């Protein structure tokens, strides 16, 4: 293709340079290697890039143009040696020849270069500040001491030791400091001061500690020098125009050596007239040259001069990187208008087009003349969406191109936005943004994902109030995405905010949504928290009962300040009490005061204790069983969720521990159940979880207990325990607590003061962010708790193991592998033998343990024991265990605050309640004077955590979203008999209290009586009509309500009303087991079965193995997962620990769902499917298919045992029972203990005889 090459080749000459095409270059190299060409003339780059030896190498001229320095420079020593190294062909020559032609002045230099061996010197000092910043950002260097060690690994250090004088070190200095520690410290100190001055690092001169800033992170990631950052710091202002922005770019220190040469001025002048954005400086200024070259690059202008082209390449290589850095700096400063300009500039550099051009130019395959025609029409791009392909063809008078243009218009990324606002406090709004993609996805155009920036701007579009990065993935390109975040509001209230979603790659691609505050009503101001009084701590003897005192005496002599202040109200009165205090303040002991009070007055009194978490219920049960049952001889019971069992437990228990759902099942039919009415004391723990996902059930049972108390005209004392709440007054009022019995302490009132650190990481990709937190976690342990116990919470099970290994790796790099192990290794052996996970054994030997859902109860106990005893100093736990662990530490680290939610395929924030619970583990009352907590989160979440961890928490009701089932249950028990009863029922709830306080949160537009009664009536109307549609209730005369069969079944089995509707519509006379499995899996109860990251692949493999294949399954659907796991359970497949725990959750609800199916089927009189459903209940209980051998139900029976029995003609449990003992033992070949298990099973196996007789048979005709 190269014409010059064509002319030269016939003569045995060839040329080779970077401007040629790859094909030509390869051809020349091959011809030269095969000796078809005698002489090859090439540029210097050939020596480095291609291995072509020759007999003779001639270097003609030793000056090359350096765009970086902007002038002609001498060839470096390394280039010369590399080129001359090509002389001499190893197979053919005994020697090679090198000829160097240079200027007389340089001759001596090149001679000495070739004849003497000169040392290579380090050039690092000049770049030391930037290198130091990069190491600090990585987390390798945390302070001056680390930096001195790091310098010890550099070549610079080696050269300073070898030739100190060259680096300005005198012999006296070297004698006094042979390892140059002081010299290295001086270098680090100077570099750190420069970084500190430019705000890249915060440097504490006293302690020598470095703290990385956002600016430092940007500089490191975009590889910009601290001088450039200094320039940007000085010149960037929120009001810059495009003209000034180009100027700031051109003054970057990366271009400081570029000069303007005489021969270029003419061409630059021509370019200056052609570029669109005016340049302030004259063409003599280097910055004007850079500015012009960047604009020429965007405008795709052709250049003539070689040196100018080299400069252009140099400028544009850095342009994208520098502009992105400016964009991130401006974004972090929250300057809305400049952020917009810089992001557009980044995209213009990337796409090489101006924003004023037609956006379709970004599709390179669209012919130039077509785009020009559209531009000439001056037709707004947005309106092209409204035209069909014929109209587009007519518009540009090219009918054939209509379809193509139409396709490209709809490939352009376009989003639809909708928003829902909820005021949380007077200064915080919760924003739920729904993003719906509205374009065709094409892998070739969009790749696997498209990135967007979500920006919330104030009314003047001057300040960015919130920004976050949003990634739209190809596989979810058709789905709606929900993004939730919090923004501040200020008084006086502005008329509106703007939400903009801007593409990160496409020009002119943005969607703006104004959010009006016209109807916004902010919640009422919250009353101040209860002051902690400076009281003398109460001794345990204040209980005035030796039996009671013995419960506490061996643990502590005095109650803590919070317990002291509430003691009188809780122990010496019968008032309803609310106690709000941070986690770990000893609130459970306050609840025990109330129990002791009840036992004093009535030794056979009945107390119900409700806690929203199953894990907490088990923990409290263990504790109270030891306290109240073993010591005080009172019956402590834990409800199971099985109604008949629970009724028996309720009858005989003094202290009943339950979760809200289990108590809801029992207390729904309180009118028939005397034991529910006979409750004396009702304790509700963690009341703040009313705002959580299972909050409505908690709210309903508390409201019900208050209602029961009013109906039976006997007080049931309610004691509520909670975290500090900002609206505790409403909660207390709802639960009937007087102002004097409401204690709501500030979050900072802790028995053990807490020091809280929040670190932000501005990395939007979660896995990368977790990787970047690994080093800081180890440093936080070393800084805050080098010797005391540390608890690290991570988002997932996989991450527990990775983090434990990372901590150990950091230990090993500090050459202190066992620093976290505080006992002899041999003492661990008996504990380690109980564990099956080899990684866990390995980490424990080094003093780091981890806990996750996949460990057995036994393994968890072992690890917790080792940590509690102090043998193991560091424990890593997955987030879901924060409620079920009874361990505390001096330091708690929360490593990231987002977890993967498979249902919406996105990372979502931890509920704030979980974070408070985790923070509460930094609490060892009798061992520490203070606890410490480090929260590592996304940078944009820092303000949110500052607000809600340092201040009391507002809590709202969510009952209005799931009222149907509760209404249905109350209609079945006849508490609600008409619509007025339903409205009255709502007045008992917390929802009713909050509607007037924060109307907008509940979609009310005002707070007058009219607004409230209309809203309540509408809520009741809507709920009851939904129930009527699903045939659960009937409404007569538009007023009275009565339960129907389906409603009764739903209330009895505690099933969602949509599930019972699904059952009644899907079940029919022909339904078989396969159909039943599918119907049950689709129940609303399984909506929240978790879908983890990359679990779809596992489920896909599982779907190949199960007997009933699914048609077109979506593997990220919880219902599909439920179906597969149920089948896997029936097939007794081996599953991973996570899937096993999911299966247990599924099975806990499966039996009552199947029983409801039986009721629905039998109500319709369909015998065959009803029998199939009964059989399915047996199959699920025994984990086997109906076609399997009945012997599979027997314990310890494997397929071999079953085969032996079948061969002998033994096919049922009864056959086993009828065998002789010796014969049975010979056949089964099981050890004695296992034979005993088999015998026990056989004895319990139901064997019922039926007999019948027809009475009055003569009267039957």
* Cα 1222 to Cα 619: distance, rounded to the nearest angstrom: 47
- Strand pairing category for 607-610 and 636-638: unpaired
The pLDDT assigned to 877 comes to 97
Q: Which of 112-126, 234-248, 435-449, 625-639 has the lowest mean pLDDT?
A: 112-126
What's the residue count for the chain?
Answer: 1261
User: Parallel, antiparallel, or unpaired for β 607-610 and 681-684?
Assistant: parallel
Q: What whole-number distance in Å separates Cα of residue 1086 and Cα of residue 1121?
A: 9
Which residues neighbour 688 within 8 Å (Cβ) at sequence distance 6 or greater? 580, 722, 723, 725, 913, 953, 955
Contact status, residue 850 vs residue 841, Cβ threshold 8 Å: no
Burial 997-1006 (b: 16+ CB within 10 A, else e): bbbbbbebee
Beta-bridge mates of residue 821: 872
Query: d(Cα 565, Cα 742) in Å, to the nearest integer?
Result: 11
**Distance between CA atoms of 1071 and 578, rounded to whole angstroms?**
52
Cα–Cα distance, 973 to 673 (Å, whole number)? 12
Contacts of 1224 (CB under 8 A, 6+ apart): 1216, 1235
For residue range 585-632, list pLDDT tens digits in order. 999 999 999 999 999 999 999 999 999 999 899 999 999 999 999 999
CA distance 932 to 781: 10
- Name which of 223, 248, 232, 160 is nearest 198 in CA terms: 232
Q: Residues 977-987: pLDDT tens digits?
A: 999 999 999 99
Least Cα distance to 1118 among 803, 834, 902, 896 occurs for 902
Q: Which residues of 347-359 are buried (b: 16+ CB within 10 A; e: fewer)?
A: bbbbbebeeeebb
Average pLDDT over residues 869-889: 93
Question: Which residue, 455, 453, 472, is CA-closest to 464?
Answer: 455
Answer for the pair 100, 110: CB distance below 8 angstroms, yes or no: yes
Torsion of CA 707, 711, 713, 714, to 10 degrees: -50
Task: Go through the domains of the chain in sequence order and give each one's CATH number.
Answer: 1-42 (no CATH), 137-152+166-212 (1.10.10.10), 224-355 (1.10.3380.10), 357-412 (1.10.150.20), 415-516 (2.60.40.150), 538-744 (3.40.50.300), 754-949 (3.40.50.300), 959-1043 (1.10.10.10), 1195-1260 (1.10.150.20)
Which helix (H) or strand (E) segment holds residue 1011: the answer is: helix 1009-1029
Q: Kindly report the number of other CB atoms within 10 A of residue 1035's CB atom.
A: 16
Q: Which two tokens stand for residue 499?
A: 């939400």
> Quick one: DSSP state of residue 625?
I
Residues 6+ apart with CB under 8 A from 15: 2, 4, 5, 8, 28, 40, 41, 42
pLDDT band for 763, please (50, 70, 90 cuts): confident
The single residue listed with the structure tokens 């108590």 is 663
* 3-class DSSP assignment, residue 202: strand
Sign of the torsion formed by the C-alpha atoms of 600, 604, 605 and 607: positive
Two structure tokens written together for 741? 């019995």
- What are the residues whose beta carbons fall under 8 Å from the beta carbon of 336, sequence distance 6 or more? 455, 457, 458, 461, 462, 463, 464
| pLDDT beyond 90 at 17 | no
Token digits of residue 510 = 């943005």
Place of tokens 């019972």: 1060
φ/ψ region of 472 (left if φ > 0, alpha if ψ in -120 to 50, else beta) reads beta
Structure letter (DSSP) for residue 1152: H
**Residue 429, pLDDT score:** 95
Instruction: Give me the pLDDT at residue 789, please.
Output: 97
* 1093 — pLDDT class (breaks 50, 70, 90): confident
pLDDT of 1261 higher than 70: no
pLDDT at 1260: 67
For residue 39, the Cα-to-chain-centroid distance in whole angstroms is 63
Q: Kindly report, residue by residue over 640-680, the tens digit of the pLDDT.
A: 988 899 999 999 999 999 999 999 999 999 999 999 999 99
Q: What's CA 911's distance to the chain center, in Å? A: 11
First and final CA of the chain: distance in angstroms?
108
DSSP state, 1006?
Answer: -
Q: Count Cα atoms within 13 angstroms, Cβ side, for 320.
A: 11
Q: What is the pLDDT of residues 1094-1152, one digit of tens each?
A: 888 999 999 999 999 999 899 989 999 999 999 999 999 999 888 998 999 999 999 99
Angle, CA of 493, 498 and 503, to the nearest 5°? 160
Whole-number percent of the chain with pLDDT over 90: 77
pLDDT at 1077: 97
pLDDT tens digits, one per residue of 1057-1068: 999 999 999 999
Site of tokens 């056979």? 604
Tokens describing residue 88? 């001499």
What is the spatial distance between Cα 464 and Cα 1090, in angstroms, rounded to a whole number? 35
Q: DSSP labels for 293-327?
A: HHHHHHHT-----HHHHHHHHHHHHHHHHHHHHHH
According to DSSP, the residues that pair with 1040 across neighbouring strands are 978, 1036
- Output the pLDDT for position 418: 97
Average model confidence (pLDDT) across the chain: 93
The string of pLDDT tens digits covering residues 791-817 is 999 999 999 999 999 999 999 988 888
pLDDT digits (tens, 9 = 90+) for 1185-1237: 999 999 999 999 988 989 999 998 888 899 988 888 888 888 888 899 999 99
Pull the structure tokens for residue 1246.
């139901």
| Residue 893 dihedral angles phi and psi, to the nearest 5° | -115, 125
Copy the structure tokens of residue 521.
């009503």
Q: Which of 128-142, 503-517, 794-808, 900-914 has the lowest mean pLDDT?
A: 900-914
CA-to-CA distance for 867 and 873, rounded, in angstroms? 6
Q: How far is CA 937 from CA 142, 760, 889, in A?
A: 19, 5, 20
Strands 510-516 and 496-503: antiparallel
Q: Where are the beta strands (DSSP E) in 397-479?
A: 415-425, 428-437, 449-457, 464-473
Q: How confident is the model at residue 926 (pLDDT cuts 50, 70, 90)?
A: confident
Q: Is the dihedral angle over the CA atoms 619, 621, 622, 626 positive or is it negative?
A: positive
Under 8 Å between Cβ of 601 and 573? no
d(CA 217, CA 1229): 69
Structure tokens at 776: 């800081």
Structure tokens at 760: 């932000």
β-bridge mates for residue 451, sequence order: 471
CA distance 241 to 244: 5
Query: What letter would DSSP give residue 879?
Result: G
Contact, 897 vs 915, CB < 8 A? yes
Average pLDDT estimate for 182-210: 96
Q: State the Cα–Cα distance between residues 1160 and 1164, nearest whole angstrom.
A: 7
- Tell me whether strands 742-744 and 464-473 are parallel, antiparallel or unpaired: unpaired
Structure tokens at 1254: 């027809």
| Residue 1009's pLDDT band (cuts 50, 70, 90) | very high
């Amino acid at each position: 293709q190269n014409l010059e090459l064509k002319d030269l080749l016939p003569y045995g000459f060839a040329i080779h340079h970077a401007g040629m095409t790859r094909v030509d270059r390869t051809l020349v190299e091959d011809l030269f290697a095969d000796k078809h060409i005698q002489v090859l003339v090439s540029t210097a780059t050939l020596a480095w890039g291609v291995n072509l030896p020759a007999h003779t190498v001639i270097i003609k001229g030793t000056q090359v143009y350096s765009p970086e320095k902007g002038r002609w420079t001498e060839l470096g020593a390394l280039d010369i040696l590399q080129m001359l190294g090509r002389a001499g062909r190893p197979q053919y020559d005994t020697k090679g020849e090198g000829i160097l032609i240079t200027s007389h002045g340089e001759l001596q230099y090149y001679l000495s270069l070739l004849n003497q061996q000169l040392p290579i010197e380090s050039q690092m000092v000049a770049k030391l500040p930037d290198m130091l910043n990069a190491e600090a950002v990585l987390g390798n260097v945390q302070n001056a001491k680390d930096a001195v060690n790091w310098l010890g690994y550099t070549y610079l250090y080696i050269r300073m030791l070898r030739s100190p004088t060259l680096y300005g070190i005198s012999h006296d200095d070297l004698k006094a400091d042979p390892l140059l520690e002081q010299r290295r410290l001086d270098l680090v100190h100077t570099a750190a001061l420069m970084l500190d001055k430019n705000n890249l690092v915060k440097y504490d001169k006293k302690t020598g500690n470095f703290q990385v800033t956002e600016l430092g992170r940007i500089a490191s990631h975009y590889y910009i020098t601290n001088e450039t950052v200094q320039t940007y710091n000085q010149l960037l202002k929120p009001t810059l125009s495009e003209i000034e922005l180009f100027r700031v770019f051109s003054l970057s220190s990366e271009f400081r050596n570029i000069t303007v040469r005489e021969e270029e001025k003419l061409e630059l002048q021509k370019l200056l007239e052609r570029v669109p954005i005016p340049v302030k400086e004259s063409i003599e200024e280097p910055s004007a040259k850079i500015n012009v070259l960047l604009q020429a690059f965007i405008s795709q202008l052709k250049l003539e001069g070689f040196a100018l082209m080299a400069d252009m390449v140099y400028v544009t290589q850095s342009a994208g990187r520098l502009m992105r850095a400016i964009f991130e700096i401006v974004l972090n400063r929250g300057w809305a208008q400049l952020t917009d300009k810089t992001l557009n500039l980044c995209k213009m550099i990337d796409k090489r087009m101006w924003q004023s051009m037609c956006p379709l130019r970004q599709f390179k395959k669209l012919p130039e003349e077509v785009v020009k025609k559209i531009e000439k029409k001056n037709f707004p791009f947005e309106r092209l969406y409204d035209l069909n392909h014929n109209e587009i063809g007519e518009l540009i008078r090219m009918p054939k191109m209509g379809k193509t243009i139409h396709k490209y218009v709809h490939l352009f990324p376009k989003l639809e936005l909708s928003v829902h606002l909820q005021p949380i406090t007077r200064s915080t709004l919760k924003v739920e943004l729904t993003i719906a993609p509205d374009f065709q996805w094409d892998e070739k155009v969009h790749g696997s994902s498209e990135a967007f920036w979500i920006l919330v701007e104030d009314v003047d579009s001057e300040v960015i109030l919130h920004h976050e990065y949003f990634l739209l993935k190809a596989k979810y390109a058709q789905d709606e995405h929900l993004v939730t975040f919090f923004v501040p509001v200020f008084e006086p209230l502005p008329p509106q905010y703007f939400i903009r979603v801007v593409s990160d790659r496409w020009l002119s691609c943005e969607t703006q949504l104004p959010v009006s505050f016209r109807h916004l009503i902010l919640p009422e101001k919250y009353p101040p928290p209860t002051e902690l009084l400076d009281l003398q701590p109460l001794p345990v003897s204040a209980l005035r009962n030796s039996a009671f005192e013995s419960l506490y005496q061996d643990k502590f002599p005095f109650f803590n300040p919070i317990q002291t202040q509430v003691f009188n109200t809780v122990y010496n009165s019968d008032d309803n009490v609310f106690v709000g205090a941070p986690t770990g303040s000893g609130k459970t002991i306050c609840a025990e005061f109330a129990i002791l009070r009840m036992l004093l007055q009535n030794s056979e009194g009945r107390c119900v204790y409700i806690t929203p978490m199953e894990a907490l219920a088990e923990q409290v049960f263990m504790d109270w069983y030891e306290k109240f049952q073993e010591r005080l001889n009172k019956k402590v019971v834990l409800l199971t969720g099985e109604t008949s069992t629970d009724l028996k437990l309720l009858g005989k228990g003094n202290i009943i521990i339950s979760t809200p759902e289990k108590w809801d099942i029992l207390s729904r039919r309180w009118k028939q159940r005397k034991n529910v009415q006979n409750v004396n004391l009702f304790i509700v723990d963690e009341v703040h979880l009313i705002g959580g996902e299972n909050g409505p059930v908690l709210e309903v049972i508390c409201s019900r207990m208050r209602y029961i108390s009013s109906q039976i005209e006997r007080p049931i004392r309610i004691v509520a325990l909670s975290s500090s709440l900002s609206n505790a007054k409403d909660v207390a009022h709802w639960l009937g607590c007087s102002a004097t019995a409401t204690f709501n302490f500030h979050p900072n009132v802790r028995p053990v003061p807490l020091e809280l650190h929040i670190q932000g990481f501005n990395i939007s990709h979660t896995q990368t962010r977790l990787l970047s937190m690994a080093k800081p976690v180890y440093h936080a342990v070393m800084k805050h708790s080098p010797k005391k116990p540390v608890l690290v919470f991570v988002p997932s099970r996989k991450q527990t193991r990775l983090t434990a290994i990372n901590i150990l790796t950091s230990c090993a790099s500090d050459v202190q592998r066992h620093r976290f192990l505080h006992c002899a290794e041999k003492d661990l052996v008996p504990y380690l033998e109980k564990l099956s996970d080899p990684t866990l054994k390995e980490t424990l030997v080094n003093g780091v343990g981890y806990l996750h859902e996949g460990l057995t109860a036994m393994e968890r106990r072992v690890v917790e024991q080792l940590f509690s005893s102090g043998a193991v100093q560091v424990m890593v736990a997955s987030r879901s265990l924060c409620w079920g662990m009874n361990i505390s530490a001096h330091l708690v680290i929360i490593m990231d605050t987002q977890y993967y939610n498979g249902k919406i395929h996105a990372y979502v924030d931890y509920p704030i309640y979980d974070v408070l619970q985790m923070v509460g583990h930094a609490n060892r009352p009798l061992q520490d004077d203070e606890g410490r907590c480090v929260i590592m989160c996304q940078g944009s979440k820092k303000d949110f955590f500052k607000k809600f961890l340092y201040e009391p928490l507002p809590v709202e009701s969510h009952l209005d979203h799931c009222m149907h089932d509760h209404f249905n249950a109350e209609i079945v028990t006849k508490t609600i008999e008409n619509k007025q009863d339903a409205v009255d029922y709502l007045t008992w709830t917390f929802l009713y209290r909050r509607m007037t306080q924060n109307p907008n949160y509940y979609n009310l537009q005002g707070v007058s009586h009219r607004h409230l009664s209309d809203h309540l009536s509408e809520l009741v109307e809507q709920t009851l009509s939904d129930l009527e549609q699903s045939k659960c209730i009937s409404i007569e005369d538009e007023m009275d309500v009565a339960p129907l069969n389906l409603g009764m079944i739903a209330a009895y089995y505690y099933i969602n009303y949509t599930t019972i509707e699904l059952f009644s519509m899907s079940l029919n006379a022909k339904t078989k087991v396969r159909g039943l499995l599918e119907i049950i899996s689709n129940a609303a109860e399984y909506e929240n079965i978790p879908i983890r990251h990359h679990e779809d692949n596992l489920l896909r493999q599982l779907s190949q193995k199960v007997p009933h294949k699914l048609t077109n399954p979506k593997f990220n659907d919880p219902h599909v997962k439920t179906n597969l796991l149920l089948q896997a359970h029936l097939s007794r497949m081996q599953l991973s620990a996570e899937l096993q725990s999911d299966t247990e959750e599924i099975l806990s609800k499966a039996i009552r769902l199947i029983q409801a199916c039986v009721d629905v089927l039998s109500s319709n009189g369909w015998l065959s499917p009803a029998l199939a459903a009964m059989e399915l209940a047996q199959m699920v209980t025994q984990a086997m298919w109906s076609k399997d051998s009945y012997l599979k139900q027997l314990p310890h029976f494997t397929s071999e045992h079953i085969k032996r029995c079948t061969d002998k003609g033994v096919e049922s449990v009864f056959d086993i029972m009828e065998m002789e003992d010796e014969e049975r033992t010979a056949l089964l070949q099981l050890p004695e203990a296992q034979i005993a298990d088999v015998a026990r099973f056989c004895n319990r196996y139901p064997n019922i005889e039926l007999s019948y007789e027809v009475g009055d048979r003569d009267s039957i005709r």
